[in-house]
Amino acid sequence: MSDKVNASHILVEHEHEAKDILRKLDEGVAFEELARDFSNCPSGKQAGGSLGEFGRGQMVSEFETATFALEVGAVSGPVKTQFGHHIIKRNS
């Protein structure tokens, strides 16, 4: 089991926004494009949602649990944290 992951995310305020973004992903819109257009996190605007590499204990628990559970290349459903609703993509 890896102790580090590389992930990207899109952060929005409401769950219905996250579900809307998932629909757009299903329609073939690029994750990075959606992050730039919709994410409330500075990583969305600057890096297409990329958070880079991080280890266990560096993110809030709900986010960490969801990210480490994803297969490489997979995208999560909405994950609620104190910051809002995230769509997470595990890059490695």
3-state secondary structure of 3: coil
Q: Is the dihedral of CA 55, 50, 26, 18 positive or negative?
A: positive
CATH classification of 4-90 is 3.10.50.40, yes or no?
A: yes
Q: What are residue 22's DSSP bridge partners?
A: none
What pTM value is reported for the model? 0.95
Residue 1 has a pLDDT of 57
Residue 19 has a pLDDT of 98
Residue 43 has a pLDDT of 83
- The predicted-structure confidence for 41-76, as pLDDT tens digits, reads as follows 988 878 999 999 999 999 999 999 999 999 999 999
Residue type, 45: K
Residue 79 has pLDDT above 90, yes or no: yes
- What's the rounded mean pLDDT across residues 11-29? 98
Residue with more model confidence, 84 or 42: 84
Residue 33 has a pLDDT of 96
Largest CA distance in the chain: 34
